[in-house]
Structure 1
Amino acid sequence: MADDRTHVQEFFTVRAADWDSRFPDDGPAYAAAVEALGLRHGDAVLDAGCGTGRALAALREAVGPGGTVLGVDLTPAMLETAVRAGRDRSGALLLADAERLPLREGVLDAVFAAGLVSHLTHPGPALLELARVVRPGGQLALFHPVGRAALAARHGRALTDDDLRAEPVLRPLLAGSGWRLSTYVDEDERFLVRAVRVD
């Protein structure tokens, strides 16, 4: 598992400095995805795999000054880029593995995860770990600013039915990890799955 984490860190380390400039128009899509979570003032939310922290300002706005916003990422260079961009003013940043979170059980109202699923070493256990830290009835949003087909085209590969983000694959994976899928949207301009933490 350490080798897999190292591979993810290496992938993102070399891309951290220019990550935001490569995707300059994603802000509205992030804001819309955060809004879809239905967060309330005072909620506690985690941005799992927060990268350069592009969702943190929208998350802070959603939970208000009395809420808690925590961004967790595995790659120091991504967090450093987030700090240089001033995004640490919207939430606390923590270097940690989303598959082994240093949080107590049930302390969060929601988890937002942009682009995380594709980079998980062990998706089932990772989703179970996210469920562990969310209260029953809490929310999970799995987001990407482009849909599966658009992302596959961007990377020059074919879209396959065994893609982890395909609904027939993801729905049972979530169900086996403490989540009930409530919304599945896969359009060219966004991928957004919402799930509810079950008892």
Structure 2
Amino acid sequence: GPDGVVIAADLTPEMLAQARPQAAAARAALVLADARRLPFADAAADALFAAGLINHLPDTETALTELARVIRSGGLLVLFHPAGRAALAARHGRTMTPDEPLSAGPLRRSTAASGWRLTAYDDAVDHFFALAARS
């Protein structure tokens, strides 16, 4: 909305440089930050959109707990990737396993353990989408 603020965060300066033109067009701020230690106050945000984040984290539950810290109660977490898990696994030359962080069971457990309630899960061929609400 007109009073909203969009902040894009990434761990690498290279990814922030890639995002700079889109961020400028969207009037979004860019922040160099680790998802496991965000430089934001508790309950400072209404929602988080995480594209391709979870598979890059060494400890899913720790990062999800940190994401929950900065989201107000009832706020949302959107996990997204423009390819489904099977397509990503094939692209990287590996097979999917049921214990991967984005598999339905592990994701449901890690979100619940870190202050989220998983409300939607869609692992399609052409995208991955999960939605969680802050408890």
What SS does the aligned partner of 1:68 have?
A: coil
Segments of 4+ moved more than 6 angstroms: none
- Identical residues among aligned pairs (%): 51
The one-letter amino acid paired with 2:45 is L
Corresponding residue of 1:192: 129
Unaligned runs of 5+ in 2: none
Corresponding residue of 1:88: 24
Note the C-alpha offset of 1:153.
1.1
Q: Which fold has the larger relative contact order, with Cα–Cα distance below 8 Å and residues 6 or more apart in sequence?
A: 2
Cα distance in structure 1, aligned partners of 2:66 and 2:119: 19
Count of aligned pairs = 134
RMSD: 1.0
What SS does the aligned partner of 1:151 have?
A: helix
The one-letter amino acid paired with 1:88 is A
1:12-55 Cα offsets, whole Å, 9 max, x none, are xxxxxxxxxxxxxxxxxxxxxxxxxxxxx2xxxxxxxxxxxxxx
| Counterpart pick for 1:136 among 73, 81, 89 | 73
Instruction: Tell me the TM-score normalised to structure 1 length.
Output: 0.65
The answer to which structure has the higher helix fraction is 1
Note the C-alpha offset of 1:174.
0.3
Unaligned runs of 5+ in 1: 1-40, 42-64
Structure 2 residue 23 is the aligned partner of structure 1 residue 101: no
> Is the 8 Å Cα contact of residues 80 and 127 (structure 2) preserved in structure 1?
yes
Cα distance in structure 2, aligned partners of 1:101 and 1:176: 19
> Is the 8 Å Cα contact of residues 23 and 29 (structure 2) preserved in structure 1?
no
Note the C-alpha offset of 1:80.
1.4
